[in-house]
Chains A and B, each alone.
Chain A
Amino acid sequence: MFNKVLIANRGEIAVRIIRACRELGMQTVAVYSEADRQALHVRYADEAYLLGSSPSRESYLRGDKIIEIAQKSEARAIHPGYGFLAERADFAEACQEAGLAFIGPKPSSIAAMGDKAVARSTVARAGVQVVPGTEGEGSLRDEDLLSLAHGIGFPLLIKATAGGGGKGMREVSNLVEMPGLLASARREAEAAFGDGNVYLEKLLEGARHIEYQILADSHGNVIHLGERECSLQRRHQKLLEESPSPFIGDDQEIRQRMGQVAVRASQAVGYTNAGTIEFLVDKDKNFYFLEMNTRLQVEHPVTEIVTGVDIVKEQIRIARGRQMRYTQADIQMKGWGIECRINAEDPYNNFLPSTGRITHSLLPTGPGVRVDTGVYPGFEISPYYDSLISKLIVWGETRAEAVLRMRRALEEYKIVGVRTNVPFHQSLMDSHRFMGGQYDTRFVEERFSMGAAEEGKSTRPEIAAIIATLVAHQQTQRAAHIIQRNERDTSNWKWISRWERMQR
């Protein structure tokens, strides 16, 4: 049994895992790249060791070094978080061989589910319905994929077999554009996962993306913690998640049926630890297995906030060989949880990533609000890693209360130094379709704009004009009379007006 955990990750998820370890009285070991010397996970952990230079390939993807550090620091377990090495069967296996507990599923389950193409054929054999595609064909070359595309029909999706998070994914509407898209998908997959293999899947239109959180221990117990609605995506990147799903709503029958299928799909690969079964659900509530994520998910907090289960602690408990603290009957969803992913992206400029130093940050607090973040004022957002800087999660007794609370929390949240997508989430909270729970995976790209004119949202151009004028006025005055900082004790305005009087 282990008492010291190495966290093979960075950012908010490393902080999240350190918190769980702390509460369980466990020692924590952080690893970091050169760019992350000042990161929060390094500051919070009991021990921290340098992995290498800033690019992931030379730091957070260096499984060999991470295992070496675990042995040197006598950590007996490794938590991989999400991304990086979390879904690499070879890494999980290397941990086992080195005598380290891998806080996640068995290497064989990762291999079976991690290769998305193999996963689809495995669960299909267990009687779970899958989205039509090139399942069970193994790794295919471009020529094979091009010839199979016809049988599946357009539009279709190219997906990375090692994939997740929308990376290496491309939408194809005809055969002509397919070779180019295959090349770029492979390139992106190779860069993100070190594996350029892809497969094809039919694109279901107007579908919703709904997933089930699974927990399984090594004593044969498998339970689900209800669903998460993840349909709000842009370029296949999730932006907002909620639990329960407004689409499933009060339909307990389908909720249970999907939960049972999710449990069965996990059992098909002898799954242990935390995992997620993703489904696509069409308008008529037909659901298809999409893939299994054999790791902790970014959006796990919305499930935690409605079920009260601490998923990370449960993961550690399971990895220590104990039984879960819960049976299926213990799991009740109470109220409503919503999570907004706060990314360093400019919603007014095509969501381009924004880098720079965070100069100021004021976090929302108060009733029903949780923030998971890995940044703080003074921290530099580098171009090396993904753009997630924090997750804002709220709980409400009803969905309406949760939406209003999220709106309040977003207004309180101030991050200065980089552009963020907070205004995007604010517009979303004001959107009638979102309020009504009427959205599918295409909503953001096809029916949503940042324009305030949409849906008659109130604007205050005259207030903006006053603010802009006062700022410009200050700048002009400052430029005309450069003075040393801290030389005077009164405000600029007082100083300026005194100066103006003096000149008369």
Chain B
Amino acid sequence: MKYVTTIGEREFLVEIIDEHHLLVNGVAYVVDFDSLSDQPVFSLLLDGQSFESYVYTSEEGLQVLLHGNLYPATVEDEREKRLRAASGGRVAEREEFHLKAPMPGLVVSIPVQEGQHVEKGDVLVILESMKMQNELKSPRPGTVARLRIKNGDSVEQRQTLLSVV
């Protein structure tokens, strides 16, 4: 199986030959790979060198935490890669943004109104959780739409609070 794996700006061509052998950009390695006690903690033995890492699955792809560094990673097989190339790349910047609660909490303030224009970095909602007030900011400029909450609401994790279009 051949994969194209992107770490930040760099692409790696990883070919999995069998359980214990793979090629990275054409260089062969002997590997042993196992998850530890069914947790997202993985042990990799690569030509005898031992690495341990956490791997988180998120909407944008995988996040690999290794030696105190976090590496956002996307892994595509060749078919996916070709499909994406055909569709003309990413459109994330233009897409609507749906603000989701990053954790359960209490809405203490909504400094914006529906229809209001916001800049990137403007505070959209202040959410209190773990006794801290957390400012949730807009990742892009746009107009506030579909405000689904009011002051004093308790919200669940990943509940959609509002959109920026």
Write the residues of chain A forming the contact surface with B, with a CB cutoff of 8 angstroms: 56, 167, 184, 187-188, 191-192, 344, 348-349, 352-355, 359-360, 383-387, 410-411, 414, 416, 422-423, 426-427, 430, 450, 452, 457, 459-473, 475-476, 491, 493-494, 496-497
Contact = CB atoms under 8 A, between A and B. Distances in A.
B65 A383 contact: no
18 contacts: A187-B133, A360-B36, A385-B130, A386-B130, A386-B131, A386-B132, A410-B68, A427-B68, A460-B69, A465-B10, A465-B12, A465-B71, A466-B12, A466-B46, A467-B66, A468-B75, A471-B42, A493-B34
B34 A360 contact: no
Contact of B19 (A354, A452, A494): A494
Contacts of A385: 130-131
A469 B53 CA distance: 13
Nearest to B15: A469
B6 to A, nearest CB: 8
Contacts of A496: 19
Interface of B is mostly: strand
B97 interface: no
A234 to B, nearest CB: 11
Contacts of A470: 16, 31, 33, 42, 44
A475 B77 CA distance: 13
Contacts of A430: 68
Interface of A is mostly: helix
Contacts of A450: 70
A410 B67 CA distance: 10
Interface stretch (B88-96, B98-106, B112-120, B141-149): B98-106
B68 to A, nearest CB: 3
A426 B129 CA distance: 25
A448 B163 CA distance: 32
A411 to B, nearest CB: 7
Interface residues of B, number: 58
Nearest to B133: A188
B67 A411 contact: yes
Contacts of B29: 466
B165 interface: no
Given A416-B40, A426-B68, A352 B103 contact: yes
Contact of A416 (B44, B54, B69): B54
Contacts of A463: 44, 46, 51, 53, 66
Contacts of B64: 464, 467-468
Interface string B34-51: 101101111010100001
B110 interface: no
B18 A467 contact: no
Contact of B131 (A191, A410, A491): A191
Interface string B1-33: 101010110101010101100101000010101
Contacts of B51: 460, 463, 467
Contacts of A349: 102
Contacts of B55: 467-468, 471
Contacts of A191: 128, 131
Given A353-B129, A463-B46, A466-B29, A473 B68 contact: no
Nearest to B6: A465
